[in-house]
């Protein structure tokens, strides 16, 4: 761990000259389980950030954490660090589901962690992650999880449908018929229940998987969807700077070795006009702000704007997409099928 923290500090120093004129508006500790790091380790990285970067006095500073990492002493230590937002990987408030997901915490421990974040760390901007579409999950169980989540008074909820990725233990169990996927009709019912319950509680559905009380959208994640430059530090971290996407090597030892040798070698994506168009369409339609046709044409020209509208025509006719003024939006009924619809609008350059 200490080697990795030292590498993070060194990369921050090495990349600082390129951002001397930039004001840092958000800082997000994620991409794994940063709550495994000791408070002293976190503090040592913050010291480099404050020495080498211009951080806004109103910056949103988030840490991802597992509920079982948040002991009383750990949270008291966090209260002395600049964090003002925390994202908890709760996943479920059903102990049976948590066991199936191999989570170390119980439902009660997760609820207790939320309360301790406020009481001990003084953090009043709390997000929790939930999962639905789990094997054996019922509407009743999902409803109970939503009840519990709302009873905790959190400001933000991210909810994701379980996907089975090749190479994971869950995918292997699915192939061995040890698990059964939830059927699409039940998945849709769970999604509709999620939207209705959170809407009734005052949450705004501002992105496909994200819900926030007014004033509590994730500023950091929203910047990803708004084409705002960002710098990623650490193994496998992605950056978007000067219109180019890049990412660090994912292997931990290789990353540390590169930093120690002073030769960080990120890989770069070919962000041509069509790649940027696809990114714009995909991220815009996932949000409640929709896709601005005026911005689309200003950024990418009349030809790609016409292409987008031509591909969208069938969805405008069947009501999956709605046009209001100069913007396109996914209809409520189409949100659950958003991936398929958005993919149809992307430009495939053969």
262-285 pLDDT, tens digit per residue, is 988 899 987 788 988 999 999 999
C-beta neighbour count of 183 within 10 angstroms: 10
Please give the backbone phi and psi of residue 210, each rounded to the nearest 5 degrees, phi first.
Answer: -130, 135
Residue bearing tokens 């209705």: 196
Q: What is the DSSP string of 209-249?
A: TEEE-TT-S-HHHHHHTTT--B---STT-EEEETTEEEE--
Closest CA to 197 of 158, 152, 150, 155: 150
Mean pLDDT, to the nearest integer, of 249-257?
A: 96
**Helices and strands of the chain, counted as H and E runs:** 13, 13
Angle at 45 (CA atoms; ends 41, 49), nearest 5 degrees: 165
Angle at 210 (CA atoms; ends 207, 211), nearest 5 degrees: 105
Residue 164, helix vs strand vs coil: coil
pTM: 0.94
Residues 112, 116: Cα–Cα separation, whole Å: 6
Residue bearing tokens 């094997």: 135
Residue 240 has pLDDT above 70, yes or no: yes
DSSP one-letter code for 182: P
- Mean pLDDT, the chain, rounded, equals 94
Which of 41-55, 84-98, 166-180, 299-313 bottoms out in mean pLDDT, i.e. has the lowest? 166-180
The CATH code of domain 23-224 reads 3.30.750.200
Residue bearing tokens 């207790």: 112
Give the pLDDT confidence score for residue 350 in this predicted structure: 58
If pLDDT is split at 50, 70 and 90, which confidence band does 74 have?
Answer: very high
The CATH code of domain 281-345 reads 1.10.10
Burial of 97 (C-beta count, 10 Å sphere; 0-12/13-18/19+): buried
- Do 89 and 54 meet the contact criterion of CB atoms below 8 Å apart? no
Ranges 21-35, 191-205, 213-227, most confident: 191-205
Mean pLDDT, to the nearest integer, of 298-302?
A: 94
Residue bearing tokens 């501002």: 206
Domain boundaries, the chain: 23-224, 281-345
Mean pLDDT, to the nearest integer, of 321-326?
A: 95
Task: Find the length of the chain.
Answer: 350
């Amino acid at each position: 761990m200490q080697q990795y923290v030292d590498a993070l500090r060194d990369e921050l120093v090495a990349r600082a000259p390129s951002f001397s004129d930039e004001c840092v508006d958000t800082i997000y500790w994620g991409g794994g389980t940063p709550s495994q790091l000791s408070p002293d380790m976190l503090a040592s990285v913050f010291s480099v950030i404050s020495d080498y970067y211009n951080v806004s006095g109103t910056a949103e500073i988030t840490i991802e954490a597992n509920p079982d990492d948040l002991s009383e002493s750990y949270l008291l230590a966090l209260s002395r660090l600049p964090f003002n937002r925390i994202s908890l990987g709760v996943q479920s408030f059903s102990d049976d589901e948590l066991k199936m997901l191999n989570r170390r915490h119980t439902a009660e421990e997760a609820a207790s962690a939320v309360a301790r974040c406020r009481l001990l760390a003084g953090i009043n901007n709390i997000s929790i992650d939930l999962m639905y579409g789990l094997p054996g999950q019922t509407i009743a169980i999902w409803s109970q999880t939503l009840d519990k989540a709302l009873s905790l008074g959190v400001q933000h909820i991210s909810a994701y449908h379980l996907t089975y990725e090749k190479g994971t233990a869950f995918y292997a169990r699915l192939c061995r018929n040890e698990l059964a996927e939830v059927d699409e009709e039940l998945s849709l019912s769970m999604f509709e229940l999620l939207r209705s319950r959170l809407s009734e509680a005052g949450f705004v559905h501002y992105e496909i998987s994200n819900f926030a009380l007014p004033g509590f959208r994730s500023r950091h994640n929203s910047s990803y969807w708004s084409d705002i430059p960002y710098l990623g530090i650490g193994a496998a971290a992605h950056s978007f700077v000067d219109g180019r996407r890049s990412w660090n090597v994912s292997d931990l030892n290789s990353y540390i070795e590169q930093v120690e040798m002073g030769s960080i070698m990120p890989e770069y994506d070919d962000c041509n006009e069509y790649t940027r168009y696809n990114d714009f369409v995909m991220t815009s339609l996932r949000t409640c702000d929709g896709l601005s046709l005026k911005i689309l044409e200003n950024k990418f020209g009349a030809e790609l704007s016409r292409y987008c509208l031509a591909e969208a025509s069938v969805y405008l006719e069947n009501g999956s997409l709605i046009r209001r003024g100069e913007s396109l939006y996914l209809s409520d009924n189409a949100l659950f099928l958003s991936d398929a619809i958005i993919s149809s609008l992307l430009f495939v350059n053969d």
